[in-house]
Structure 1
């Protein structure tokens, strides 16, 4: 049985897709705002999006178990959120809840993986791949070293 609880006063671009399979629950608070090509997909789990959440272009959210996003959170372009991984040893998925707190800012090109908990008032820097538990009021960045090598002739 599909369940969709969606409040009013949303600004969804025409290319936003919300896909719900059977036995899914999707709850969206007031003020969801999306840019182009946002996909919100629930494949049998629970997806809860708080009030005044913004998804920039090309964001992709896929829930198999549970994804919860707190009020007033902002997502840069190309953010992907998955509460599951493919189980390559057998058919199916391995799933763990993803919880994103209130007032969280997620930079461009961030990937949020299964089992991640991001506390309230956090900032996740562009290009991060996050998995784990992050307490409230943290800035999460992943530094990368650049290495240059001369091409030998």
Structure 2
């Protein structure tokens, strides 16, 4: 019974996100975590103080399943990196704590930052694919929060 209620709640969460793009989506837009969103001044300052080469970040290497410098990643490589990121998230999400979700969110923010710089070079199909991966991450993270509240 609990599992079926969780599945219904999860599917409702995804529908609600599409039906009401208000405060939650607005917050993600402000933080620059959704496709096409302009990074906030705070995010731009953090990016400026961050080293240009993130390839040495072990969490990023793990989540993307490769060692890559996102600042130099070509546009056509990004959909594959998002796919690797979400595949790792799907596999490991059930064992993640809050800190691990935050680290994954930071890696996603870096991916999104590079995507924002090169997205016009991608065909519409790839941009939609990236958008769906971004949305899936936030849905999985939201579902975890709902599950914690139910338990």
TM range, smaller chain: under 0.3
Higher RCO (C-alpha 8 Å, min separation 6): 2
Answer 1 or 2: which has greater helix percent. 2
Answer 1 or 2: which has greater strand percent. 1
TM-score of the two chains, using structure 1 as the length reference: 0.21
